């Protein structure tokens, strides 16, 4: 399951979600912009950077790392990327905060001693999803994070609960993300089979489905513009012609794009 793309979608649509994990969020939290930043002078790419609004009184930049596999070099890489970013943007930002998200403690690097001072400082927060408590006791955004780690035997029931809550609050974006997460978990099933399993109406009114598809395409275009630059009219027409399933596949693939040529090659295939 590509959890990195799921979390990318979560943070892209709900930037304020990160700050639900932080004890003292900034006062302008709802105005932060989530970005993926490439430092071109090196091979580093920082996928989770939350940039403060330009008019914020305190220019604090937040860094997020989602780690679902064992990586002994995690802290070396995370702090190297973090401080290199700050070095390249030293004039703009005056403080920083890092959030590292693990499914459980056993995926932390075995020997964090060299980074102990940073990890124990008030500028770093490590989050262990399995210690946040019952999914049903969390806000919808955090519950979505927990759904990514829920075993398949419990995932469908948990997803149905979240869908019920999202429908009561008319949160279509949450409904789409719940469906996507379950689709990743049960990759051998089609979207129609997933929707039937979750009790969703697969034959939704045409106008609603078209609006949902257009919303997905608009989000993808915004993400592409930020990652590879302005998308010309011809490429936009090709993207508008994609099915909803193809748009979702593009949403995952674009995490690896670095130039327009990558998008063109993907569309050709």
* pLDDT tens for each residue of 224-254: 887 888 888 888 888 888 887 788 888 888 8
pLDDT band at 4 (very low <50, low <70, confident <90, very high): low
The more confidently predicted of residues 196 and 207 is: 196
Residue 217 has pLDDT above 70, yes or no: yes
Give 37-48 pLDDT, tens digit per residue: 665 555 566 768
Give 110-136 pLDDT, tens digit per residue: 988 999 999 999 999 999 999 999 999
Mean pLDDT of 148-174: 89
The more confidently predicted of residues 218 and 119 is: 119
Residue 266 has pLDDT above 80, yes or no: yes
Token reading at 34: 């989530």
DSSP 134-168: -GGGS-HHHHHHHHTTS-HHHHHHHHHHHHHHHHH
Contact in structure between 63 and 46 (CB atoms under 8 Å): yes
CA distance 72 to 69: 10
Helices (H), the chain: 3-13, 74-88, 116-119, 140-147, 152-168, 172-185, 191-198, 206-228, 233-240, 244-253, 260-268
Note the pLDDT of residue 102. Answer: 94
In the block, which residue shows the tokens 């106008």?
A: 207
First and final C-alpha spacing in the chain = 22
Task: Give percent of the chain above pLDDT 70.
Answer: 90
**Cα dihedral 157, 162, 168, 171 sign:** negative
Residue 202 has pLDDT above 80, yes or no: no
HSE (side-chain half, CA atoms, 13 Å) at 136: 7
Token reading at 219: 């989000």
Indicate the DSSP class of residue 226: H
């Amino acid at each position: 399951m590509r959890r990195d793309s799921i979390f990318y979608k979560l943070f892209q649509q709900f930037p304020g979600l990160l700050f639900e994990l932080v004890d003292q969020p900034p006062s302008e939290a709802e105005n932060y912009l989530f970005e993926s930043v490439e430092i071109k002078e090196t091979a580093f790419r920082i996928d989770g950077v939350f940039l403060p609004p330009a008019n914020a009184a305190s220019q604090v930049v937040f860094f997020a790392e989602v780690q679902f596999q064992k990586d002994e070099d995690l802290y070396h890489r995370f702090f190297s990327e973090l401080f290199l970013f700050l070095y390249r943007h030293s004039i703009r930002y005056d403080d920083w905060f890092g959030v590292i998200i693990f499914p459980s403690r056993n995926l932390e690097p075995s020997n964090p001693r060299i980074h102990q001072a940073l990890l124990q400082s008030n500028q770093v927060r490590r989050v262990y999803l399995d210690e946040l408590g019952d999914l049903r006791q969390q806000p919808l955004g955090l519950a979505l994070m927990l759904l990514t780690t829920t075993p398949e035997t419990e995932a469908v029931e948990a997803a149905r609960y979240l869908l019920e809550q999202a429908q009561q609050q008319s949160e279509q974006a949450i409904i789409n993300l719940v469906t996507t997460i379950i689709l990743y978990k049960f990759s051998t099933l089609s979207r129609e089979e997933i929707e039937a399993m979750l009790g969703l109406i697969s034959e939704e009114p045409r106008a609603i489905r078209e609006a949902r598809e257009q919303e997905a395409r608009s989000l993808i275009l915004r993400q592409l513009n930020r990652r590879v630059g302005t998308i010309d009219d011809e490429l936009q027409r090709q993207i508008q012609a994609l099915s909803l399933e193809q748009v979702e596949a593009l949403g995952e693939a674009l995490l690896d794009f670095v130039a327009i040529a990558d998008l063109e090659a993907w569309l050709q295939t």
